[in-house]
Amino acid sequence: MRIHHLNCGTMCPLCERLINGQGSWRKPGRLICHCLLIETPQALVMVDTGIGQHDIREPARRLGAGFLPLLRPQLRLAETAHAQITSLGYDPRDVRHIIPTHLDMDHAGGLSDFPDAQVHVFKPEMRAVLHPRRLDLVRFRQPQFEHKPHWVVHDTMTERWFDFDAIRPIQEMAADILIVPLIGHTEGHVGVAVKQGERWLLHCGDAYYHHSQVTATPQAPLGLKIFEAAVQTLRQPRLQNQARLRRLAADHGDEVELFCAHDPVELDRYTNAT
């Protein structure tokens, strides 16, 4: 099983030092949208979709007027999952399953580029999208769902993965792919665990933002810490799950590799190794 690590959306918020923890106070920072393309014998599977083609054509409507000046996405068509899958020699129509870590605009924007795919979602996240509160409308952009995704809603834990409950979303697939609930950032936020050889990868989504946060000495840059707290839905579960991820990394670092959605340092570990 081959796994591709893709950046499906570069963002350049103000102040590199506050966002990335080093560099200039004047230059913009750099965040990315770390997505996975998983090649299985049965189909292509994506974890998150980043910013999509339709977002680039209608950024204010689909991403939101607040998102654009704050995160300053670069809106490059070549960075979309659809374009990168094509450049890798695959047919985007072969993406049959998508597992978003959550449905914020910078994770779900590419869903409409794969209209025939099944989209596997944890039930609390689906509930928040279908019955949004006023603040939810800022993060869950309804225009991104106008194509009527083929939702597959999951709520029953079927597995135990290390010290976490988990769900096997695609029963007919031989590949080991699990949904691991990590609520806090949103009500239905999840991680996605994928077994590659003898080791596991855990895409942690927005359960943390900076690689130091899953080490023994978490030292996230101030700008990220402020943003992380500002966009959380459930503070205590978010902090608890982040602590659980630290323990997982400490106790099982030889078995599991953790990475989050927006840290360019973590993405570089994979893209620079290929």
Residue 274 clears pLDDT 60, i.e. is over it: no
At residue 35, the pLDDT reads 99
pLDDT at 208 exceeding the cut of 90 = yes
Which pTM does this prediction carry? Answer: 0.96
Asked if 169 contacts 154 with a C-beta cutoff of 8 angstroms, the reply is yes
Q: Give the chain's mean pLDDT.
A: 96
Q: For residue 114, what are the domain limits?
A: 2-271
Report yes or no: 176 and 170 within 8 Å, Cβ to Cβ: no
Number of domains in the chain: 1
With 0-12 / 13-18 / 19 or more C-beta atoms within 10 angstroms meaning exposed / middle / buried, residue 52 is buried
Give the pLDDT of residue 244: 98
Question: CA end-to-end span of the chain, whole Å?
Answer: 16
| Tokens encoding 27 | 């230059």
pLDDT at 193: 98
For residues 144-160, average pLDDT: 96
Q: Which of 203-220 are b and which e, b meaning 16 or more Cβ less than 10 Å from the residue's Cβ?
A: bbbbbbbbbbbbeeeeeb
How far is it, in rounded angstroms, from Cα 57 to Cα 112?
A: 13
pLDDT at 170: 92
**pLDDT of 172:** 82
**pLDDT per position as a tens digit, 154-199:** 999 989 999 999 999 998 886 799 999 999 999 999 999 999 999 9
Q: Which two tokens stand for residue 60?
A: 């204010």
How many other CB atoms are found less than 10 A from the CB of residue 260?
Answer: 23
Do the beta carbons of residue 22 and residue 9 sit within 8 Å?
no
Q: What is the CATH number of the domain that holds 89?
A: 3.60.15.10
Per-residue confidence at 272, pLDDT binned at 50, 70, 90?
confident
Q: Is the pLDDT of residue 273 over 80?
A: no
Q: Mean pLDDT, to the nearest integer, of 7-15?
A: 98
Residue 144 pLDDT: 98
Whether the pLDDT of residue 231 is over 80: the answer is: yes
Identity of residue 169: P
Burial of 54 (0-12, 13-18, 19+ CB in 10 A): buried
CB atoms within 10 A of CB 229: 11
Closest Cα to residue 245, out of 196, 269, 199, 210?
A: 210
Q: Residue 134: what pLDDT?
A: 86
Q: How confident is the model at residue 6 (pLDDT cuts 50, 70, 90)?
A: very high
